[in-house]
């Protein structure tokens, strides 16, 4: 089985995340993509929404798409979420799975600073979702280029930061997040 793993704060998850997951799923012939909210990302501030709310939004976003699967392993583990720990656990749970870590091209330069990046790339190939107008992918010298694959994305320009700002202003989130996520944010009064 070919399994994609996409992690992040997902504060909130948005259509750019979902489109990147779908682009990687199609390009790499993945059976499914695990959407894994981080408990606490090591290089980001504390999420604005609770773990419960972020997982619920991921589950709402994945509903209706049989190949997108919400995962709560990092939330259940708690503390700082390190991708290498998650991949090691997945490998133990699914030893026959071929793992692909899906990231955006903006993450690639920082990847060399991630915990145990050599081990991480031994556990999973890296699927880097690029924007259509982006220059060719340049893999940092510290990373084994044979374990890095470029995946052409659609270049949706949307960010969780902007979505939180719009929600704080009481503005519509339609067409930036799935409808169920927009409704959930409004009903729960998130990001106000």
pTM: 0.94
Domain boundaries, the chain: 2-157
pLDDT digits (tens, 9 = 90+) for 84-122: 999 999 999 999 999 999 999 888 888 889 999 999 999
How does residue 172 score in pLDDT terms, banded at 50, 70 and 90? very high
Answer yes or no: are the C-beta atoms of 143 and 121 closer than 8 Å.
yes
Q: How confident is the model over 32-42, as a mean pLDDT?
A: 96
Q: How confident is the model over 24-53, as a mean pLDDT?
A: 96
pLDDT digits (tens, 9 = 90+) for 137-152: 888 888 888 999 999 9
pLDDT of residue 138: 86
**Considering only the top CATH level, what class is 2-157?**
alpha beta
pLDDT of residue 136: 83
């Amino acid at each position: 089985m070919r399994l994609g793993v996409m992690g992040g704060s997902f504060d909130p998850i948005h259509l750019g995340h979902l489109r990147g997951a779908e682009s990687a799923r199609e390009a790499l012939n993945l059976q499914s993509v695990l959407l894994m909210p981080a408990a606490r990302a090591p290089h980001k501030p504390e999420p604005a929404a609770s773990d419960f709310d972020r997982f619920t939004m991921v589950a709402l976003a994945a509903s209706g798409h049989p190949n997108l699967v919400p995962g709560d392993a990092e939330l259940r583990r708690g503390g700082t979420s390190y991708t290498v720990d998650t991949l090691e656990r997945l490998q133990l749970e699914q030893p026959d799975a071929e793992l692909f870590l899906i990231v955006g091209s903006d993450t690639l330069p920082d990847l060399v600073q991630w915990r145990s990046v050599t081990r991480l790339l031994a556990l999973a190939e890296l699927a880097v979702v690029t924007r259509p107008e982006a220059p060719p992918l340049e893999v940092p010298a510290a990373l084994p280029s044979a374990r890095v694959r470029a995946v052409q994305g659609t270049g949706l320009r949307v960010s969780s930061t902007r979505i939180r700002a719009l929600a704080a202003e009481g503005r519509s989130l339609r067409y930036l997040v799935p409808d169920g996520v927009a409704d959930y944010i409004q009903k729960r009064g998130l990001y106000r």
